[in-house]
Amino acid sequence: MRLLQAIRKMGILYVCCRALVAYLDPGSGSLIVQVLIAVVVGALATLRFWKARLLNLLGIRQEDDEEDADTEALPHGD
Amino acid sequence: MSNYENVGGSFRDPSGFTFVRDGTVHRQVNAVYREHYNHLMESGLYAELTKRRLLVPHSEVDASAHRIPGAFKILLPQQAPFISYPYEWCFSQLKDAALATLDILKRSLKYGMILKDSSAYNIQFLAGKPTLIDTLSFEIYEEGAAWVAYNQFCQHFLAPLALMSHKDVRLGQLLRVHLDGIPLDLAASLLPKQSYRKLGITMHIHLHARARSRYAGQPVVKVSKSGKRLGKKAILDIADSLRAAVRGLRWDHQRTSWAGYYAGDSYQDAGFEDKRKLVSDYLDIAAPKCVWDLGANTGVFSRIASERGAFTVSMDSDPGVVEENYLKMKARDEQDLLPLLIDLSNPSAAAGWANEERDSLGERRNADCILALALIHHIAMSNNVPLRRIAQFFAQLAPWLIIEFVPKHDKKARALLISRQDIFEDYSQETFEAIFGETYEVARRDKLRDSDRLLYLMRRRTTSKRGNT
């Protein structure tokens, strides 16, 4: 919870639902927690990226995730 | 004259609504949604999603012919043969519906749109594949905006899946009570401590639940001082994280009481083959377009119907056998089969606002033929339902009935009475035939080889033989 408060105080929030057709109440907590999760997940993705590059550099091949075959052409690295 | 009827569960979204006209479901797009609808259709998103069978395809019909105020477009979507609900799905059905929703979210962002809702009720299994049926679920994405439907996704999909996986598969039935998904504080309190070992569950359920409680009723709209925003990449990261969390949830379905039923001693091989042959013959006579197989187990007999081209809803109350049935259906790409988790002793009730948002099982009846194989002894003896009530219930559902009578001295029937008093004096072949004869005419009757079980093909009488007595 302290982490959440810290993020809020840092003023990096720009979370809102401006679209005219939105009809769900997203909930303040759900909006705030997305910022935190985005930070954590983004950091982990960066770590994974550099880990993969390092392993690649060392000539160590990582096993592909076979279940990812169905996500061909997705806009984001899975 | 055309007959219009609004669909009970379609009123919350101002973008439009669904209605039934002359028995066909239509969707109205309201003028307020014009910009978003045009973007969906013109950006290439509609084409991509329908090509991948992630979104129901539709055609536009003449809106002026309908004379409905506020209409921008009237859509005629591909019709779903049967509407099922998340509390009627097995674990993997809910999981696949969740993954389809996230797939749609990510593809939407590629085309500059986002899902404005992520209700599990917007997903239906069309030709075996989880498909979004709400064409109005998209809105144009504005850079910097968070995902409004994030909480709904967690409540409708992640929370029930986590509870089913980490605690008990039967907790999926909480969705019957909580129509807008399982509240996250409830899910967090029910999940075991081991669930914290999963980062996705910790973040999207435990932390999320605490954040919702902490910031309930507080405004959060703040313009960034530093210029940083929650951008598209952040939403994609969240979608990836949710996807990993969902995929990481598993349930071993082999442990339930009915798993392996056919592998045991329930049927002698010759009798089983005989039964398959007779059911095939009966189906050829009845020639149904739609079959409901009640107590279907893993769907062995459902497949005899579906392989004949009859759309078959394969219902059972055991989560394990429904799971096995679904996984088999998926592996074989069987498009005319829909396995569902239905307890006949307590079928889904009408629910939601004015009891009209979700239909009861009976309100969704569309079968021409009911299969009730190795079932009646369970209903009559395990649930103490009188034979006459069973006959009346079946007769309400469909005109044709293929039913197996299991006599009391059958091994499986005896097993039901092993620990209780036999109060079923009237349970006999003679009484069964007399009582069902009040409602049905018997078209065929055959004795199954290697047992005293009997198979009947019955046709509902146009007027009950009992009359008004």
How far apart are alpha carbons B25 and B22 in whole angstroms?
8
Counting every residue written for chain B, the total comes to 469
Provide the mean pLDDT of chain B: 91
Query: Can you give the pLDDT at residue B186?
Result: 98
CA B58 remoteness from chain centre = 22
Mutate to test the interface with B, among A25, A37, A47, A48 (most CBs of B within 10 A): A37
CA B81 remoteness from chain centre = 12
Q: Give the DSSP H or E segment for B341.
A: strand B337-341
pLDDT > 90: what percent of chain B? 76
Of B20, B21, B9, residue with least CA distance to B86: B9
Range 323-382 of B in CB contact (< 8 A) with A: none
Closest by Cβ to A28, choosing from B116, B148, B215: B215
Q: Give the DSSP H or E segment for B110.
A: helix B91-110
- Give the 3-state secondary structure of residue B312: strand
Other CB atoms within a 10 A radius of the CB of residue A44 amount to: 15
B211 touches chain A (CB under 8 A): yes
Mutate to test the interface with B, among A10, A12, A24, A36 (most CBs of B within 10 A): A24
CB contact under 8 A, A31 and B220: yes
B252 touches chain A (CB under 8 A): no
Q: How far is B267 from chain A (nearest CA, A)?
A: 37
Query: Can you give the pLDDT at residue B227?
Result: 44
CB contact under 8 A, B107 and A74: yes
CA B459 remoteness from chain centre = 28
Q: What is the pTM of this model?
A: 0.90
> Can you name the CATH fold of B269-460?
Rossmann fold (3.40.50)
| Res. B344 pLDDT band, cuts 50 70 90 | very high
By CA distance, what is A70's nearest residue in B? B103
Q: Are the beta carbons of B308 and B289 closer than 8 angstroms?
A: no
Q: How far is A41 from chain B (nearest CA, A)?
A: 6
Q: Please give the residue that has the higher pLDDT: either B414 or B28.
A: B28
Mutate to test the interface with B, among A21, A32, A39, A74 (most CBs of B within 10 A): A21
Range 117-136 of B in CB contact (< 8 A) with A: 117
Residues B20-31, mean pLDDT to the nearest whole number:
91
Query: For A28-73, how does the pLDDT look when each residue is reduced to its tens digit (9 = 90+)?
Result: 899 989 999 999 998 888 898 898 889 888 887 765 544 444 444 4
Specify the range with the lowest mean pLDDT, choosing from A2-6, B5-9, B122-126, B442-446: A2-6
User: Which tokens in the block code for residue B407?
Assistant: 């006599």
Interface confidence (ipTM) of the complex: 0.78
DSSP result, B260-302: TTTTTTSS-HHHHHHHHHHHHHHHHHH--SEEEEET-TTSHHH
Query: Can you give the pLDDT at residue B22?
Result: 85
The edge-to-edge listing of strands for the beta sheet with B16-21 is: B4-6, B16-21, B24-30, B71-77, B58-61
Query: Can you give the pLDDT at residue B137?
Result: 97
Query: Can you give the pLDDT at residue A12?
Result: 42
Range 7-66 of A in CB contact (< 8 A) with B: 10-24, 26-38, 40-42, 45
What is the radius of gyration, based on Cα positions, of chain A?
18
How far apart are alpha carbons B463 and A8 in whole angstroms?
70
CB contact under 8 A, B222 and A10: no
